[in-house]
Amino acid sequence: MSDFADQIPFGAAEFAENPEPRCPCVLLLDTSASMSGAPVRELNEGLVAFKDELMADSMAVKRVELAVVSFGPVQVVSEFQTADTFQAPNLVAKGDTPMGQAIERALDMLNQRKEVYKQNGVSYYRPWVFLVTDGAPTDNWANAASLVRFGEESKAFKYLSEFRLHFA
């Protein structure tokens, strides 16, 4: 008869198989109507290229965990997963640009993931949050801006929003 105390809880199995420190990375991707055509096609191509770059680095494959939140409307496209299991989604452009709501959702996901690491004794690097957009928010973004400012100041994550796309 096996001793249940010796068994690994289901949620911790991923960390038992790969005990490397993690670097959670949330991709906040604009899929609003203004991204129709070439912009969303290039965004999709960029996701494939990003995964390819991660796969070319043996440490990144084990350590970087990707999650994708799109907005236009806000939806979690992909929960956190290591690069080797990440499948680049095929994003479709539609709707408005609820960027503030998307940022808040992504930061909630990031906080939850950090708690999972802590509960499972997994160390982690400063998380990354990438924002890729071609426009301005259409929702109330003031709270999201405050959360980003506080998170950056407290070094809870690195927020990279310089990725504004400009298409001719």
Residues 6+ apart with CB under 8 A from 88: 44, 47, 48, 50, 51
- What CATH number has the domain bearing residue 61? 3.40.50.410
Question: Which pLDDT belongs to residue 102?
Answer: 97
Helix axes 99-119, 142-153, angle to 10 degrees: 40
What range defines the domain where residue 42 resides? 20-164
Torsions phi, psi for 70 (to 5 deg): -105, 160
State the pLDDT confidence band at 13, using cuts at 50, 70 and 90: confident
Looking at the domain assignment, is residue 46 inside a domain? Answer: yes
Please tell me the distance from the alpha carbon of residue 134 to that of residue 118, in angstroms, as a whole number.
Answer: 36
Model confidence pLDDT, tens digit, residues 100-142: 999 999 999 999 999 999 999 999 999 999 999 988 899 999 9
Looking at the domain assignment, is residue 155 inside a domain? Answer: yes
Looking at the domain assignment, is residue 77 inside a domain? Answer: yes
Mean pLDDT of the chain: 89
Looking at the domain assignment, is residue 43 inside a domain? Answer: yes
Looking at the domain assignment, is residue 80 inside a domain? Answer: yes
Looking at the domain assignment, is residue 113 inside a domain? Answer: yes
Model confidence pLDDT, tens digit, residues 140-162: 999 999 999 999 999 999 998 75
Looking at the domain assignment, is residue 13 inside a domain? Answer: no
3-state secondary structure labels for all residues of 55-120: HCCHHHHHHEEEEEEEECCCEEEEEEEECCCCCCCCCCCCCCCCHHHHHHHHHHHHHHHHHHHHHC
Task: Answer for the pair 133, 99: CB distance below 8 angstroms, yes or no.
Answer: yes
Domains in the chain, number: 1
Looking at the domain assignment, is residue 6 inside a domain? Answer: no
Model confidence pLDDT, tens digit, residues 21-78: 999 999 999 999 999 999 999 999 999 999 999 999 999 999 999 999 999 999 999 9
Angle at 93 between CA 158 and CA 36, to 5 degrees: 105
